[in-house]
Chain A
Amino acid sequence: GAGVSQSPSNKVTEKGKDVELRCDPISGHTALYWYRQSLGQGLEFLIYFQGNSAPDKSGLPSDRFSAERTGGSVSTLTIQRTQQEDSAVYLCASSFEVAGFHRSSGDTQYFGPGTRLTVL
């Protein structure tokens, strides 16, 4: 696709419900990243995928959060038993390859429009 897409754009849910957020990266991008941004705050890194593999899941805020990626493309971020503190904008980004020391245009991250999650 032309850019990173995310769905839904907005999600309002009740405390305790599960939600699933979807990210469609740019075609051909092997790396995919999930971030969380609370109102007026910076970006909090959650997890990244190289292909279908997530080498490090320690950035996920709690065991209620999980993420997967299939076919080296679409990724889903699932939040179980949502809490009010989960309310934030969840951003997905993709890059051609995982960033490394040598400057290359391939490590530039392209962000999606985000999913605004509101937990009541």
Chain B
Amino acid sequence: GQSLEQPSEVTAVEGAIVQINCTYQTSGFYGLSWYQQHDGGAPTFLSYNALDGLEETGRFSSFLSRSDSYGYLLLQELQMKDSASYFCAVLPTSGTYKYIFGTGTRLKVLA
């Protein structure tokens, strides 16, 4: 089957760096996306990797390695407002058109 696995919860302190991993089992996909969702809010797009390597957007960076079936989201200089759930997502290239979202990681930033 096709699935994206993430750690359920990560805790870090303000100012720290945290990495949220996403491992997947899918034969092929267009790219790896990351979304942030605050409690009670809608998901918002953070980053997208179509190719292997690192994409940097301000304090957030995302990495993809197709050969290792692995990606991660890196958050630097953590702020309290970064406390949220983070989801990775892919659109498989084969079969039906269905976005697959990861299980989600709840990030808690402590003062």
Q: Which residues of A contact B (CB under 8 A)?
A: 33, 35, 41-45, 48, 55-56, 58-59, 91, 93, 98-103, 107-114
Given contact pairs A101-B93, A113-B42, enumerate 19 new A-B contacts (beta carbons under 8 Å).
A35-B99, A35-B101, A42-B87, A42-B102, A42-B103, A43-B101, A44-B101, A45-B100, A45-B101, A59-B96, A59-B98, A91-B42, A93-B43, A103-B31, A103-B50, A108-B45, A110-B45, A111-B43, A111-B44
Which of B42, B97, B98 is close to A111, meaning CB atoms less than 8 Å apart? B42
Interface residues of chain B: helix, strand, loop or mixed (majority): loop
Return B19 CB to nearest CB of chain A, in Å. Answer: 19
Cα A93 to Cα B103 with chains together (Å): 19
Judge whether B48 is part of the interface by a CB distance below 8 angstroms: yes
Chain B interface residue count: which class?
A: 20 to 34
Return A89 CB to nearest CB of chain B, in Å. Answer: 9
Give residues 78-111 of B contacting A (CB, 8 Å). 87, 89, 91, 93, 96-104
> Please, could you name 19 A-B residue pairs with CB atoms under 8 Å apart, sorted by A?
A33-B99, A35-B101, A42-B104, A43-B43, A45-B99, A45-B100, A55-B97, A91-B43, A98-B97, A99-B31, A100-B30, A101-B93, A103-B31, A103-B50, A103-B51, A107-B48, A109-B43, A112-B42, A113-B42
